[in-house]
Amino acid sequence: MNRRLALQRLSVLSALSAASLLPWGRAAFASRASTLHALPRTALVIGNSRYKDAPLKNPANDAAAITDHLKKLGFNVIAQLDGGKAVMENAIRGYGEQLARSKGVGLFYFAGHGLQVSWRNFLVPVDAALDRVDDIPRQTVDLAALLGGLGKAGNPMNIVVLDACRDNPFGGDLKSGKGLSQMDAPIGTLLAYATAPGNVASDGAGSNGLYTEQLLREIVTPEARIEDVFKRVRLAVRRASQGQQIPWESTSLEDDFYFLPPANLKKLSEEELARQFSEEASIWEKAQQAGQVATVEDYLKRYPSGRFSELAQVRLDLMLAKQGEKKVSVVNAAANPFTKGTGVIDLNYRVGDRYVFRSIDLLTKIEKKLVDTITELAEDRVIYNNGSLVTDLFGNTLVRPDGARFGPSQMFIGEYSLGKKWTTRYDVHFASGGQDVIEFDLKVVGRESVTVPAGTFDCFKVEARGWRLGTSQSNEFTIWVAPDKVNRFVATEVWWRRQGQIKRSERQELESYTRAG
């Protein structure tokens, strides 16, 4: 065990008590999760295979298998196979009314043909006869109508799963977009697609579609949080399809949900939290050292939402790209009114790239300029000013000009979308010999136009709340990033508080950005 990791583990073991004092600590989440799992569970499952002109092999099988699994998981399931438009609409209406009465957890699953037109998504009944674009709104079911009905139901949580991204098989003058269009999940909803928006999914070579086959396997994993279930499905489908099908989710869930919850959702002790993190850090360190796809995959399977999972994901991307994988990605479009889009960082750094930031102390108003020029590139890090500043590929600090050294962190990540949440924990070793352990919970809360000296950028806004373990110091960050325009942050604001009192505050903003020729 290296000295850095050993010190980090000792510090975590002695310091975790601070986390339990915070209002956003795990005790509150455990309490809300317990309440959520006491609610009734209702599901509507639709599988359409018997299309007259474009039959599908697996949706009816998929729906039957999902129905069986959900019943075993405590859901009251309404199942509908090979329904026409009137049947589908009646089933959806009744489902919404039942959720409005029960105020429980809802799950809607659809397997079959789906189409997008003018950024709107439509689920296709088996009696649809589609020759022209005008036929689609009249003869299909608008996904927005389903989501609107769920909103009116007022139940606390909804899961919407669409294995409906198969290519448009209908003839005539029908011209629709490829796959389904990106939508941001409504409040209290997890929206899951079988593949990334703008792409198509496989109907499967076996008795189930590729996506549903993996979903059936993962939803029965004991004590797996819902986000982790879908992340494991995503990884498995990606690997099985060599990157040609990568599931996608949008979430606005605030509370944890488990298909098979732990026997006791109590808050973990400080020692248990420390032991869990120590184990995770050890597995991630071994994965980094091994430098193999299998070890990175193993980490992601164990910790889909781990404190190094975003770092692991970009490492996996780079490894698989070297092996020839040409993975699909979300099709973004600024004209789409139903989403804030997805921002993916540009990893094409160049020696000579120059970033100038203005730093402002918000309490004293003192300003200073920070000039960072890339002088060297390594496989997984970016070196500025001959080594005085070193970051990883996302922009997370590894070495600071004052000599401080940072453990792996993920304050900055590779892909941003509305509602995305993640965590990070890292250690800081100071040149003086001191050490801190820092933890943050982060969330993309919006997208907004931000003007800084370098110009105006359409940014994702990230809010981060954290603490310095073993002290009464809390930290609040706001970060604005435009990953497709500049591969470092556009602006940040940070507030350091101790016992509720502001001790320090700083804003940094991009003054200029020059790409090397």
Helix 226-240 vs helix 293-302: crossing angle, to nearest 10: 150
Residue 29: is its pLDDT beyond 50?
no
256 to each of 36, 160, 241, 265, how far by Cα in Å? Answer: 9, 16, 29, 10
Which pLDDT does position 286 carry in this prediction? 95
Task: Look over the chain and give the mean of its residue pLDDT values, rounded to a whole number.
Answer: 90
Distance CA 18, CA 1 (A): 26
pLDDT digits (tens, 9 = 90+) for 383-399: 999 999 999 999 999 99
334 Cβ contact list (under 8 Å, min separation 6): 341
Tell how strand 473-481 and strand 248-251 pair up.
unpaired
CA 320 to mean position of chain CA atoms: 20
2 to each of 218, 278, 403, how far by Cα in Å? Answer: 35, 13, 19
In one-letter notation, the amino acid at residue 27 is A
DSSP label at residue 387? G
Q: The tokens of 100 are what?
A: 């409005």
Strands of 141-142's sheet, edge to edge?
Answer: 114-117, 120-123, 141-142
Q: How long, in residues, is the chain?
A: 517
Residue 482: is its pLDDT beyond 60?
yes
Q: Which domains does the chain have, with CATH numbers?
A: 39-251 (3.40.50.1460), 342-514 (2.40.360.20)
pLDDT digits (tens, 9 = 90+) for 169-191: 665 455 566 889 999 999 999 99
Which pLDDT does position 479 carry in this prediction? 98
pLDDT digits (tens, 9 = 90+) for 399-454: 999 999 999 999 999 999 999 999 999 999 999 999 999 999 999 999 999 999 99
Given pLDDT bands bounded at 50, 70 and 90, which one contains residue 471?
confident
Q: The tokens of 478 are what?
A: 């706001």
In one-letter notation, the amino acid at residue 338 is F
- Whole-number percent of the chain with pLDDT over 70: 91
Distance CA 349, CA 98 (A): 53
Half-sphere exposure of 373 (CA within 13 A, CB side): 5
Q: Give the phi and the psi of residue 396 in degrees, each rounded to 5.
A: -75, 135
Which pLDDT does position 174 carry in this prediction? 56
Given pLDDT bands bounded at 50, 70 and 90, which one contains residue 4?
very low
Q: The tokens of 379 are what?
A: 């496989």
Which pLDDT does position 35 carry in this prediction? 83
Please, are residues 76 and 102 in contact by the beta-carbon 8 Å criterion?
Answer: no
Given pLDDT bands bounded at 50, 70 and 90, which one contains residue 264?
confident
Mean of pLDDT values over 208-216: 96
Distance CA 69, CA 79 (A): 12
pLDDT digits (tens, 9 = 90+) for 233-258: 999 999 999 999 999 999 999 889 99
Q: CB 443: neighbour CB atoms within 10 A?
A: 16
Which pLDDT does position 459 carry in this prediction? 98
| 96 vs 23 pLDDT, higher one | 96
Given pLDDT bands bounded at 50, 70 and 90, which one contains residue 10?
very low
Mean of pLDDT values over 114-142: 92
Please, are residues 499 and 486 in contact by the beta-carbon 8 Å criterion?
Answer: no
Which pLDDT does position 21 carry in this prediction? 34
Residue 111: is its pLDDT beyond 70?
yes
Which pLDDT does position 8 carry in this prediction? 40
The per-residue b/e assignment along 160-198, b for 16 or more CB within 10 angstroms, e otherwise, is bbbbbbbebebeeebebbebbbbbbbbebbbbbbbbbbb
Given pLDDT bands bounded at 50, 70 and 90, which one contains residue 167?
low
Which pLDDT does position 26 carry in this prediction? 43
